[in-house]
Structure 1
Amino acid sequence: MKILLVHNFYQQAGGEDVVFEAERSMLVAAGHTVETYTVSNDDLKHVPALKMAIRTVWNAEAARTLAELVRRQNIDVVHFHNTFPMLSPAVYQAVRAAGAAAVQTLHNYRLVCANALLYRDDRPCEDCLGVLPWPAIKHRCYRESLAASATVAGTQVLHRVFRTYQREIDAYIALTSFARHKFIEGGLPPELLHVKPNFLDEDPGVGSGGGGYALFIGRLTPEKGIRTLLKAWENPGHALPLKILGHGPLAPEVEAAARLSPGIEWLGQRPRSEVMRLAGEAECLVFPSEWYEGFPMTIVEAFAVGLPVIASRVGALPEIVESGRTGLHFAPGDAESLKAAVGSMTTEKRALWSAGARAEFEHRYTRPQNILELMSIYHTALQRKGH
C-alpha cells in the first residue's frame, strides 16, 4: 500500500508528534511505501494575520500541493494527524478528488471545540458540542482572542455547512470509546468513527520498582490537575514522596511547593531515557488530569514498565486505567481523594497492579497489535472511497 502521512507540527512538541513518527516507523517496518508531508507552526510568524485566518478556513495552496503529490506518487491512503491551522480542511477534498482515501486521527477535540480541549474555566466544557459555537467566540476560547476564536469557530461552521467532515473523510480514528461518543454528539457520522489507541513503538521492558516514590510526568498546566496534585502533598499523611517531571506555565507554583515541602521534588524536563528510568523505579504514576484527555502516551509508557497508575475519574481515564487491576481512580480535583488513593496502595496491591499494567501493555499497546488495527481501518476507508 502507498500511504501519505500528513501532519501540522505545533510550536511545542507533544504526544501527537510522537504518534506521527511511531506510526510512520510501524508502517515502513510492515513493508508499506510511506511518504510524509509536514508543516510547522513555527512558520506562522512569517504569515500576516489576515492571510493566516483565510488559510485556516481554506488553504487552496496546500490543497493543490497535496493533490499533486497524491497523483504523482499514486497514493492509496492519506492519513492526516493534524491539519490545524496551516493546512485547513480543504486538503480532505483535494486528496479524495485526486484518488486517495482520507483518514483523520482525532488526537484532540478541534473539530468540535475551538480550544480543542472541551475545557474552560477550570472545568470540562461541552457548551459548543453539537450546536453553533457562539460560546467559543463569547468566551474567546482560542488564545483568549476574539478574532482568533471567531476564525476557528467560523471554520467549524463553514465546514459543517459544506458537510466536509461527513463527505470528505473516509475514516476517523478516535483514541477511546469516550472520545468517539463525544465526536458523535458533536455531529460526526458514527459509521466513520473507529477506535484505535496509541501504542509504544519500542518495549522498554519491566522496571525494577521499589524506588519509594510517586511520579508525575507532564505539562505543568491547570487542566493537568497540578494544583490538586500539590495540595494532596501539602500534608500527604503517607510516607511516599513525589517527584514531578515536566515544565509549563505553573512551574513557579511547583517550584514554590517543592521548596516548602520535603515530600515534593521538582526535576523539570529530563531526557527520555531518564524519564523512563524514573518511571521504571517508581511505585506509581499519579495522573490527576481534570480535562478529557485524548490518549496519554505517559500512561502507555507506565504500563510498559509495569507502573500502576492512580488516575482521576474523568473522561476516558476510567476506560484506560482499570481500577483494581492496572491502578486506581480518585475524584477529579479532589486532593483528599487523591491522598486516600495513594495511601491505600499496599505492597501486595502494588504488585498486583504492576502485573496488570504490564499485561495490558502487551495485550493492547504494542506494534503488532496496532498495525493490525490500523490496516483494518485503512481497508475500510479504501472500500468507502471505492477502491
Structure 2
Amino acid sequence: MFKMKILFINNYYYVRGGSEKVFFDEIEILKKHNHDVTPFSRHYIKNTYSEYQKYFPSNLDYEGVNLLKKIVAAQNLIYSLEAKKKLFELLKSIKPDLIHAHNIYGRLTCSIIDAAKEKKLPVVMTLHDYKLVCPSYLMLCKGVPCERCKGRNFYNCFFRRCHKNNLVGSFIYSIEAYFNLILKKYEWISFFICPSNFSKKKHLEAGIPEEKLIRIPNFIESEKYKPNYEYKDYILYVGRLSKEKGVLTLLRSIKHIDVKLKIVGDGPMRNECERYIEENKITNVEILGYKTGKDLEVLYKNSLFVVIPSEWYENAPMVILEAFAYGKPIIASSIGGIPEMVINEKTGLLYPPGDDNDLKDKICYLLNNPHLIKNMGKFARELVEKKYNAELHYKKLISVYKKSLER
C-alpha cells in the first residue's frame, strides 16, 4: 500500500470554521488509509491536543499591547521568523514526504513555504478563500463584491480600507500581498487545490498558472449523518453573523412570513441583528448563538430547510454539505461557488444575492409545497453520497500528492 508522511499546516488547530473542518476531516481520512499525518499550527488555548504542539510557534496577541509591540506583531503578520524556525525543528524530527498547507496567511505566513523550499519539500495548498487575489481575502469592499485587486493592484485594499474599514490593518494587508508577490513566495507551491470552479476561475484570472490549479470539491462523511425527511415548524440559518453573510437580507425577508427562523451562530453583527428584530417587532426569529455537536445536529434534523443568504463570493460552504447530509434542501443566493453545489429546483432554490423579496418568495414557495421539501431533501442526500463522499475526495487528494512528488 502506498504510504506517505504528510505534514498538515494551518493557522489554527481547532475547528474555528468550515476551512478547519476540512483540515481535520482530511487528516482523518488520510489516517484511515494508514498515512502518517502530523499537524503544525500556532499555539492557541482552544487548540486540540497534539504530541507535536511543542513545535508550534507562540500565539500572536495584539490586544492591549503598546505601539512597539504592535509594530513587531505587524511584522510577524507578514513574515514570521519564529514559525520558520519552529517548522525547521519539526521537519528535522519527522522528515515528511510532503506538506499540505491550508490557511497560513497572517499567522504562520509564507515563511513556512520558504522552510519547505530550503528542504526541497513539495507543498500543496488548499485555497479556502481569495487571499492570493485580494489582500483582505473576501473580495469584498464596503459590503459589495469587489475585484479591483485582481490585476495585482493590491494598493486598493489600503486606499479603500477593505480590512474592517481599518486604515492600518488594510495597509499591513496590502504590504503583505506585495511582499509575497515581489519575492515570489508562492512559486514553490506545486499545486493549489480549489474547492470550487468559481475559485479556480478567479485565481486563474489573477495570474496563477492553470496547470497549478486543481479543483477538488469539499467532502462529507455522510455515514456519520442520519438524514431526517420529517421536520418541525422552523427554518434554519447556520453561520457567522456578519454583513457579507446576508443575515439582514434574511431578516427583512422573514418578518412577514408565518414561519419560525432559528439563527445559529455569532459574530460582529449580532447586536445589530437583535436591534433590527426589536425595532421591527419581529417575533418569529430566535438567535441561538454558536452551537456544536448534538445540539447542532438536532437543529439541522428538525428544520424544514436551511437558508444561505450570502452576499460575498462563497467558495464551497460546508453548511451546504451538512444540510444535504441530514436530508435538508437549501435556499441560497446564487453567488460564488454556491450554484455549483445547490442544484436549482432539485436540491434547493437559488435567488439573486441581496434580493429579500425574491428570497421571501422562495421561502413561501417551499412552505406552500411541502412535498418538495421532502423530495429535494432526498435528492440532496443522494448527491452527497455519490459526489461528495470521502473516498472520492481521498483518491483525488492522493493523485495530487503523487503528482507533487513527481515534479
For this structure pair, what is the TM-score category when the shorter chain's length is used for normalisation? over 0.9
8 Å Cα contact 1:173/1:195 also seen in 2: yes
Cα distance in 1 for residues equivalent to 2:15 and 2:376: 33
- 1:61 counterpart SS class: helix
Q: Does 1:362 align with 2:385?
A: yes
- 1:254 counterpart SS class: helix
- 1:45 counterpart SS class: coil
Cα distance in 2 for residues equivalent to 1:45 and 1:61: 14
- 1:131 counterpart SS class: coil
Inter-CA distance 322–356: structure 2 relative to 1 (3 Å threshold): same
Task: Provide, for residues 334-372 of structure 1, a one-character-per-residue CA deviation record: whole Å limited to 9, x for no partner.
Answer: 111001111112122222211111011101222222211
Question: Residue in 1 aligned with 2:32?
Answer: 29
Shift of 1:247: 1.5
TM-score when normalising by structure 2: 0.88
Shift of 1:246: 1.4
Cα distance in 2 for residues equivalent to 1:297 and 1:35: 24
Q: Does 1:372 align with 2:395?
A: yes
User: Which range moves more in the overlay, 249-258 or 261-270?
Assistant: 249-258
Inter-CA distance 5–334: structure 2 relative to 1 (3 Å threshold): same
Question: Residue in 1 aligned with 2:82?
Answer: 61
Q: Does 1:325 align with 2:346?
A: yes
Structure 1 residues 108-147: aligned runs within 5 Å: 108-147=129-168
Question: Residue in 1 aligned with 2:211?
Answer: 191
Q: Does 1:246 align with 2:269?
A: no
- 1:227 counterpart SS class: helix
8 Å Cα contact 2:125/2:189 also seen in 1: yes
- 2:220 counterpart SS class: coil
Q: What amino acid maps onto 2:299 in structure 1?
A: L
Question: Residue in 1 aligned with 2:304?
Answer: 283
- 2:402 counterpart SS class: helix
User: Which range moves more in the overlay, 335-344 or 44-53?
Assistant: 44-53
Cα distance in 1 for residues equivalent to 2:164 and 2:12: 17
Cα distance in 1 for residues equivalent to 2:141 and 2:240: 17
Structure 1 residues 31-110: aligned runs within 5 Å: 31-40=34-43, 43-45=59-61, 48-110=69-131
- 1:82 counterpart SS class: coil
Shift of 1:320: 1.3
Question: Residue in 2 aligned with 1:265?
Answer: 286
Q: What amino acid maps onto 1:106 in structure 2?
A: L
Q: Does 1:310 align with 2:326?
A: no
Shift of 1:258: 4.7
- 1:114 counterpart SS class: coil
Cα distance in 1 for residues equivalent to 2:220 and 2:15: 21
Structure 1 residues 13-28: aligned runs within 5 Å: 13-28=16-31
Cα distance in 2 for residues equivalent to 1:158 and 1:282: 47
Inter-CA distance 255–58: structure 2 relative to 1 (3 Å threshold): closer
Q: What amino acid maps onto 2:16 in structure 1?
A: A
Q: What amino acid maps onto 1:206 in structure 2?
A: P
- 1:79 counterpart SS class: strand
Report how many residues are paired: 381
Task: Provide, for residues 13-43 of structure 1, a one-character-per-residue CA deviation record: whole Å limited to 9, x for no partner.
Answer: 2222222211111111110011111104772
Give the CA RMSD over aligned residues: 2.1
Cα distance in 2 for residues equivalent to 1:229 and 1:247: 15
8 Å Cα contact 1:2/1:34 also seen in 2: yes
Shift of 1:299: 0.9
Shift of 1:90: 2.2
Cα distance in 2 for residues equivalent to 1:159 and 1:68: 24
8 Å Cα contact 2:13/2:41 also seen in 1: no
Shift of 1:212: 2.6
Task: Provide, for residues 148-192 of structure 1, a one-character-per-residue CA deviation record: whole Å limited to 9, x for no partner.
Answer: 322221222222222222x21011111100011111112212111
Task: Provide, for residues 203-260 of structure 1, a one-character-per-residue CA deviation record: whole Å limited to 9, x for no partner.
Answer: 2111142213211111111111011000001212xx3322211122222243345552
8 Å Cα contact 1:215/1:244 also seen in 2: yes
Q: What amino acid maps onto 1:69 in structure 2?
A: L
Question: Residue in 2 aligned with 1:255?
Answer: 274
Inter-CA distance 249–65: structure 2 relative to 1 (3 Å threshold): closer
8 Å Cα contact 1:71/1:98 also seen in 2: no
User: Which range moves more in the overlay, 210-219 or 60-69?
Assistant: 60-69
Shift of 1:78: 0.5
TM-score when normalising by structure 1: 0.92
User: Which range moves more in the overlay, 319-328 or 255-264?
Assistant: 255-264
Shift of 1:120: 1.4
8 Å Cα contact 1:70/1:100 also seen in 2: no
Q: 1:353 aligns with which of 366, 372, 376?
A: 376
8 Å Cα contact 1:117/1:292 also seen in 2: yes
